[in-house]
Chains A and B, each alone.
Chain A
Amino acid sequence: MNKSMGNRKIIMKEMGSAIFLRRLELAMVFSFSHAIVFFISQFLILPTAAQPVFDIIKQSPTYASCNYDVYPDSVPDNLTPAPADKHPFYISHYGRHGSRYINKRSGYDIPYKMMVQAKGVDELTPTGKRVLNEMNHILEDSEQRWGDLTEIGREQIRQITRRMFKRFPEVFADSARVAARSTVVPRCIMSMESAMMELAQLNPRLNITMDASKRTQIYMNHQDSKLYRTKLTPEAQKAYDAYTATRLGNSRLMEQLFKNPDIIKEIVDESFFNYYMMKMGLFQMNTHFHMAERAKQLLVLFTTEDLYRMWQIDNALWYLQYGFCPLNGADYPYSQRFLLRQIIADADSCLRLEKPGAQLRFGHETVLLPLICLIGINGYDLQTTDLDEIEAKGWWSSSVFPMGANLQFIFYRSDPQDEDVLFKVLLNEQEATLPIATDSPPYYRWADFRNYCLAKLDEYEKTR
């Protein structure tokens, strides 16, 4: 299983680019945008292949926050050359929006209220008081921005789009058609628009169309109510409770913040507090530079072991709820059957065209993760009842759906008459494997994949 997004390294080369410097210069003098366009992701350290999760988190703490992880701002340029005579001619894509503010205030309220109450009864240590002060700043920064795409998020999307364009210029040549579609959620619309603006800069002749309609929600953002009800069966809950029993809690954190942890336990739930406090700190890495600096004040409270345990807890929950976990009936990934059918139907139509261009879709991680499990990309169709096994077998949700995560299907043929269409899948811009046979990996025959998926979906729908 491909366990990581590729070699991680400190990215400084982009900082040298003229565009980056100009943005930085303008941002520094431009009070209107209140923005420091100093992308913290440019300083993130990215994991290497085959690294244990613990080591990845040690290098890049945000990896521990699963779906709040920040997208790497560079990917290794190590694509396998296409078989002779085959050229890329069509891209089909589903991507998550870029980094955003947390959706709702309630996400921060849990640890915040606990801290305020502890302050009320004079139980905060000097460290606790300092941390509460930082939390106040974080809340102030987030107020009226709940769910908004951040500057880091917009830059992520621009960079991903730029790399897609540079890697597959044939698809975006001349007046190629680019059909972009978003869910009706504003941060997805903004992500789509950031991507299209980048493409228009790279090739102003592109024929770009954008769309965000409730009509397409059935496949762009489908949350299956029937499957949703069985996301966490009593059996699954029991397994989860057993798995997390030894991993929850953080008495060291309590001792740092509270004068009498034993007393404060009457009003502060240690497990909840530990979990949400870490999330609050890690989330700031998605907003902007000075908030990331503030977040460090929170993150110093945690050791790599603490972060690693939280990642295990979160990862297990994502697996139980969104993966092929037999404890829940092993069927939640089928919630994305409409999207998979749409991707196939769109490809069927586009393959008939001489220059189909690209179809780019912008949505959510709660769609992307089950879709990847449904297809079985990189072995994410793993089925196990042993939650200790998911980490060992490489089912690492953070590698699938950081902010800005994306799945690209790149199609190849020799000419429009070539019926032997090949394709490869890029998960977060890295070549991925599929659960079907091929003689030239990572390239697969489209017809094989199409048959595999449709048979799988037909089989499921027969039983539903």
Chain B
Amino acid sequence: MRAPSAYASCLLIAIATLCTTQGAGAQTIADELRADVRRSAGMYYALPVTETTKDTPPPAGKKPFYINHYGCSSPYYLDQPGRYTAPNRTLARADSLGMLSRLGRNVLRKVALLRKEAHNRTNELTEAGKLQARKVAKQMTERLPEMFTDNSYVDGRSIVQNHCLLTLGEATVQVSRAHQPMHVDCNGSHSYQQWMNPPDDKLEALRQDTVAIFKFTAFVDSLEPDFTRLAKTLFNDDNYVKHINAAALGRQLFDLACTTQYSESVDDTSLLELFTPDEIHRLWKIRNALAYIRYGGCTLNGGYQPYVQRSPLWILLHMGDSIMTLDNPVVHLRYTHQNVLMSLVCLLELDGFGVKTACLDSIETLGWADYRIAPFGGSIMMIHYRSDKNDPDPMVRVLLNGREAQLPIPTDYPPYYHWQDVKRYYLRKLYIYERERNYE
């Protein structure tokens, strides 16, 4: 397939973005948050693994022969003990003075339970995390059984972070169950860092751009709810509320509610229920905007943050080409941080998530939602199809978090795209970036 002209290409991208954002639904984010309040955790939301999946049949005669995957860890116990100790301290002090309401005492009990549960478990997968990692892998093997046969070569890699290593392990053990005998290997090495979590000091310095920080601060000020309401429900004396930092406590409790929703000791949404739907929505918007500034195409800090992940994109392109010479199915599984996945999704412009804007108020309208892009257990799977080894027109289908994704490239057989078009589009994108940056 020939590549479209630059003008047509831009027009198509604009239409695609518009369709996606409309389709994904600016209004539906509020609906989605109402339907499952856990989504307000954004990147800490665990992708649900559904039994039913939509798989558009490939073009006649084409069969999958390669899975090129980047995924992130399943839920794990986060570091930073301050998450637990800070709200615990405020509530425990009030309790010692008899200032907690019944609800407040209940919240204190939950915070203490969460603190105890997470103690000495930094970077360890939660039980829910282990189960999710296995389910995601099982779904992959069931959706693409042709990829897991006698002659398959499955190779899993991880950065050297225990939660990623453990997610990799759960996944590869599950894949090992899919077919016997089959070659399955896994490894973690510091040497993978350069193409699974590449450093980019220059772009990372831009991330904290003054304008971006200023705009974000104003955005927070305009949105952050008045946490006095929450404080009045937790404490039994309104005068006491005046003496505590209600805003800090509110933020701490929301953060704890988001990051511990896969707890074994506390019901997963019970802390989130402290907040009204409107407060949840506002607080999510703040988290989402921060993720967009850090990892998305936000133009306040230049709009280049997704390019931090150009090495993973190079790997996707390079491997997509190299693997065509092989006879047997190959699966490359890679596990890294969620921010890597998020920026890579934006760089690939999957489902319109490459959208660029300086207006933080419009992110939601554009359908850019962190929990849609890189939740716990999220992944990009670029699946390559061909009729045989000599097929001159291999095609790819991309699954973003298990769902067929739209690429910013024209195709006559969506969601299948001609590999040559895909490669050409992203190579041009990378080369343009290099030219632009070299002259700065």
A184–B163 alpha-carbon span in the complex (Å): 10
State whether A193 touches B151 (Cβ < 8 A).
no
Asked if B362 lies at the interface with its beta carbon under 8 angstroms from chain A, I say no
Which residue from A23, A194, A200 sits with its C-beta under 8 Å from B177?
A: A200
Q: Which of B31-39, B168-176, B233-241, B352-360 touches A?
A: B168-176
Q: Which of A142-150, A220-228, A250-258, A430-438 touches B?
A: A142-150
Among A18, A31, A32, A196, find the residue whose CB has the most chain B CB atoms closer than 10 A.
Answer: A32
Q: Mask for B419-440, Cβ within 8 A of A = 1, else 0?
A: 0000000000000000000000
A212–B123 alpha-carbon span in the complex (Å): 9
A32–B156 alpha-carbon span in the complex (Å): 11
CB distance from A93 to the nearest CB of B (A): 17
**Which residue from chain A places its CB closest to the CB of B325 in the assembled complex?**
A29
A26–B184 alpha-carbon span in the complex (Å): 12
Which residue from B121, B172, B189 sits with its C-beta under 8 Å from A148?
A: B189
Asked if B224 lies at the interface with its beta carbon under 8 angstroms from chain A, I say no
State whether B184 touches A197 (Cβ < 8 A).
yes
Number of interface residues of A (CB under 8 A): 40
State whether A189 touches B322 (Cβ < 8 A).
no
**In the complex, chain A residues whose CB is within 8 Å of the CB of B151:** 22
**Which residue from chain A places its CB closest to the CB of B155 in the assembled complex?**
A33
A196–B185 alpha-carbon span in the complex (Å): 11
State whether B162 touches A215 (Cβ < 8 A).
no
Identify which of residues 30-53 in chain A touch chain B, using a CB-to-CB cut-off of 8 Å.
30-33
User: Given A33-B155, A184-B123 in contact, is the A201-B182 Cβ separation under 8 Å?
Assistant: yes
State whether A29 touches B326 (Cβ < 8 A).
yes
CB distance from B46 to the nearest CB of A (A): 19
Q: Mask for B301-333, Cβ within 8 A of A = 1, else 0?
A: 000000000000000000100100110101010
CB distance from A184 to the nearest CB of B (A): 6
User: Given A32-B319, A189-B169, A204-B176 in contact, is the A145-B183 Cβ separation under 8 Å?
Assistant: no
State whether A194 touches B121 (Cβ < 8 A).
no
A213–B119 alpha-carbon span in the complex (Å): 10
Identify which of residues 208-233 in chain A touch chain B, using a CB-to-CB cut-off of 8 Å.
208-215
CB distance from B395 to the nearest CB of A (A): 21
State whether A144 touches B165 (Cβ < 8 A).
no
State whether A144 touches B173 (Cβ < 8 A).
no
Asked if A8 lies at the interface with its beta carbon under 8 angstroms from chain B, I say no
Asked if A186 lies at the interface with its beta carbon under 8 angstroms from chain B, I say yes
A210–B163 alpha-carbon span in the complex (Å): 12
Asked if A192 lies at the interface with its beta carbon under 8 angstroms from chain B, I say yes
A18–B180 alpha-carbon span in the complex (Å): 13
User: Given A149-B187, A189-B165 in contact, is the A210-B173 Cβ separation under 8 Å?
Assistant: yes
User: Given A26-B153, A32-B155, A201-B184 in contact, is the A189-B190 Cβ separation under 8 Å?
Assistant: no
State whether B153 touches A212 (Cβ < 8 A).
no
CB distance from A198 to the nearest CB of B (A): 8
State whether A214 touches B190 (Cβ < 8 A).
no
Which residue from B170, B186, B187, B328 sits with its C-beta under 8 Å from A26?
A: B328
Asked if A154 lies at the interface with its beta carbon under 8 angstroms from chain B, I say yes
Query: Could you list 17 examples of A-B contacts with CB < 8 Å?
Result: A23-B183, A30-B326, A33-B155, A144-B191, A146-B190, A148-B191, A149-B188, A184-B123, A193-B173, A197-B176, A197-B184, A204-B180, A208-B173, A212-B162, A214-B122, A215-B120, A215-B121
14 more A-B residue pairs beyond the given contacts A22-B183, A154-B185, with a C-beta to C-beta distance below 8 A: A31-B322, A32-B322, A33-B155, A190-B165, A193-B172, A193-B173, A194-B186, A196-B176, A197-B186, A200-B176, A208-B173, A210-B166, A210-B170, A212-B124
Chain B residues within CB distance 8 Å of chain A: 119-124, 130, 151, 153, 155, 160, 162, 165-166, 168-170, 172-174, 176-178, 180-191, 193-194, 319, 322, 325-326, 328, 330, 332
Leading 10 A-B pairs by shortest Cβ distance? A193-B169, A200-B176, A204-B177, A144-B191, A214-B120, A148-B189, A144-B190, A197-B176, A196-B173, A215-B120
